[in-house]
Amino acid sequence: MMRPNWFIILPVCAFVVVCALDIVRESPPWDMGDIALDIAETALLVLMVVAVAWSTQRVTQMRDDQQAFRDALVRHAAQGADWRAARSQEIAAMSDAIALEFRAWGLTGEEMDVAELLLKGASLKEIALAQRTSLAQVRDRANAVYRKAGISGRVALSAYFLDSLFAQTARHQ
């Protein structure tokens, strides 16, 4: 069953009542032009009230949605922190393994920093801003990482490490 939409019903009722009172209040003979003008004025007023009420409802809904989003972010951040705390040894071991692989590839310190940020999902522009260097330098370092690792790019860099993790997970199931 459909619920009545009070944002429409109440203004329409108000419109009818105001128009009826305005017409009754006018002294005969009634001029159709005056009546039409009164109805139009009242309709515009009611339309503006409806627009304000609808806008207020939308703003309230947006605020509720934003708060729900913030709450979800806080909840997910806490879950991530819990996961990292529970898996701290495995994470440390993986970090060490990645650093060993970077050294085996012969990466410089700057290239290792770029590779680490690439693995974390940072864009080249974000890396340049974080390292306070030019985008061209970051691009050169990223290309050096790819070349030394023998891979084609960012996706291959992530896949290089993630494939091993997921292949191991599949074997344990």
Of 102, 100, 124, 123, the closest CA to residue 111 belongs to 102
Q: What is the pLDDT of residue 35?
A: 74
Distance set, CA 18 to CA 7, 14, 31, 55, 113 (Å): 17, 6, 17, 23, 72
Q: What is the pLDDT of residue 32?
A: 78
- Residues 60 and 17: beta-carbon distance below 8 Å: no
Q: What is the pLDDT of residue 33?
A: 78
Axis-axis angle for helices 32-86, 6-25 (nearest 10): 160
Q: What is the pLDDT of residue 2?
A: 54
Tens of pLDDT along 100-153?
Answer: 999 999 999 999 999 999 999 999 999 999 999 999 999 999 999 999 999 999
Q: What is the pLDDT of residue 76?
A: 95
Q: What is the pLDDT of residue 16?
A: 77
Work out the number of other CB atoms within 10 angstroms of the CB of residue 100: 10
The whole model's pTM is what? 0.56
Mean pLDDT for the stretch of residues 38-59: 83
Tens of pLDDT along 3-22?
Answer: 667 767 777 777 778 777 77
